[in-house]
């Protein structure tokens, strides 16, 4: 049950936000193998005065449409997170025409037991949604 928070400057269209959401979600389905209906995305559009970023960050020019995506989910291997980040960036370019340089990502990982949603059924052996077909062999050892 990942929770995605996307922060961007005010002025985007509903269609742009829908495409950004679709790009991120498809990457989550493809890489993390979450169920298709496991989508929780919250957009925060903020005034330009409240979105402070240098025009060059880490030596790379950032455009006025830079967005910041926070991904919250349970622990995953570093390789899988790297694949997820790459997939999100690729999808954002393809779906929503967002340049790679305008994407900032961070993942917050929590223990499996910290997630709850009414009606969700978790496999007690894995701690993952029972509909997920690909979970780590020993989730306790993921890190």
Closest alpha carbon to 35 in 132, 124, 117, 134: 132
Q: What is the pLDDT of residue 139?
A: 47
Per-residue pLDDT of 70-87, as tens digits, reads 999 888 999 999 999 999
Per-residue pLDDT of 120-137, as tens digits, reads 556 666 666 666 666 666
Give the residues of the chain that fall short of pLDDT 50.
Answer: 139-143
Instruction: Supply the pTM of this predicted model.
Output: 0.79
Whole-number Å distance between alpha carbons of 29 and 35 = 6
| Residue 46, strand partner residues | 9
Structure tokens at 69: 């995506």
């Amino acid at each position: 049950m990942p929770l995605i928070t996307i922060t961007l400057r005010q002025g985007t269209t509903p269609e742009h936000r829908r495409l950004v959401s679709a790009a991120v979600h498809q990457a989550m389905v493809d890489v993390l193998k979450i169920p298709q209906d496991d989508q929780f995305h919250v957009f925060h559009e903020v005034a330009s005065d409240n979105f402070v970023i240098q025009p060059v960050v880490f030596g790379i020019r950032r455009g006025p449409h830079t967005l910041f995506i926070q991904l919250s989910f349970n622990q995953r291997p570093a390789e899988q997170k790297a694949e997820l980040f790459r997939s999100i960036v690729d999808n954002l370019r393809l779906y929503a025409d967002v340049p790679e340089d305008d994407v900032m990502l961070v993942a917050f990982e929590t223990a499996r037991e910290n997630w709850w949603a009414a009606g969700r059924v978790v496999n007690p052996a894995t701690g993952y949604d029972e509909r997920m077909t690909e979970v780590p062999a020993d989730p306790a050892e993921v890190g």
